[in-house]
Amino acid sequence: MTTDTTTQGNAPGATTPGRTVLDARGVTMRFGGLTAVRGVDLTVNSGEIVGLIGPNGAGKTTFFNCLTGLYTPTEGEVRYQGQLLPPKSFKVTAAGIARTFQNIRLFANMTVLENVLVGRHTRTKEGFWSAVLRGPGFHRAEKASRARAMELLDFVGLAAKADHLARNLPYGEQRKLEIARALASEPGLLLLDEPTAGMNPQETRATEELVFAIRDQGIAVLVIEHDMRFIFNLCDRVAVLVQGEKLVEGDSATVQGDDRVVAAYLGEPLDNDPGAAEAAEVEAAEAHAGTHAGTPADPGTPADPDPAAGQQNKETDR
Instruction: State the residues that interact with ligand ADP by CB under 6 A.
Output: 31, 34, 36, 54, 56-62, 274-275
For ligand ADP, the closer of residues 20 and 103 by Cβ is 103
In angstroms, the CA 120 to CA 123 distance is: 5
What's the min distance (Å) between Cβ of 221 and ligand ADP?
17
Q: How far is the CB of 274 from ligand ADP (least distance, A)?
A: 3
- Mark the segment that binds Mg ion (CB under 5 A) among 95-103, 164-172, 173-181, 289-297: 95-103
Spatial CA neighbour of 191 closest among 309, 274, 93, 79: 93
Determine, following the binding rule CB under 5 A, whether residue 61 of this chain makes contact with Mg ion: yes
Decide whether 22 or 58 has the Cβ nearer to ligand ADP.
58
Measured from the CB atom, the residue of 186 and 315 that comes closer to ligand ADP is: 315
Cβ proximity to ligand ADP: between 51 and 170 the closer is: 51
Scan residues 102-131 and list those touching Mg ion (CB under 5 A): 102
User: Minimal CA–CA distance to 228: which of 55, 37, 40?
Assistant: 55
Return the H-helix or E-strand segment holding 255.
helix 252-256
The footprint of Mg ion on residues 289-318 (CB under 5 A) is none
Strands across the sheet containing 97-99: 97-99, 189-193, 220-224, 49-53, 237-242, 245-250
Decide if 255 contacts 261 (C-beta within 8 A).
yes
Query: For residue 235, which phi and psi values (nearest 5 degrees)?
Result: -90, 140
Helix (H/G/I), strand (E/B), else coil: 199: coil
Question: Nearer Cβ to ligand ADP, position 66 or 221?
Answer: 66
Distance CA 175, CA 153 (A): 12
Q: Which does 34 bind (CB under 5 to 8 A by kind): Mg ion, ligand ADP, none?
A: ligand ADP
By beta carbon distance, the residue nearest Mg ion is 61
DSSP 40-83: EEEEEETT-EEEEE-STTSSHHHHHHHHTTSS--SEEEEEETTE
Report in angstroms how near the CB of residue 266 gets to ligand ADP at its nearest.
17
Q: State which H helix or E strand residue 224 sits in.
A: strand 220-224
Q: Can you list the alpha helix ranges (DSSP code H) found in 267-306?
A: 276-293
CB of 63 to Mg ion, least distance (A): 9
Minimum gap (Å) between residue 59 Cβ and ligand ADP: 4
Residue type, 172: G
Report the nearest approach of ligand ADP to the CB of residue 167 (Å).
Answer: 25
Q: Which is nearer to Mg ion, 102 or 174 (CB)?
A: 102
Q: Does 100 bind Mg ion (CB under 5 A)?
A: no
Pick the closer one to Mg ion by CB: 47 or 51. Answer: 51
* Distance, CA of 10 to CA of 206 (rounded, Å): 21
Residues near Mg ion (CB under 5 A): 60-61, 102
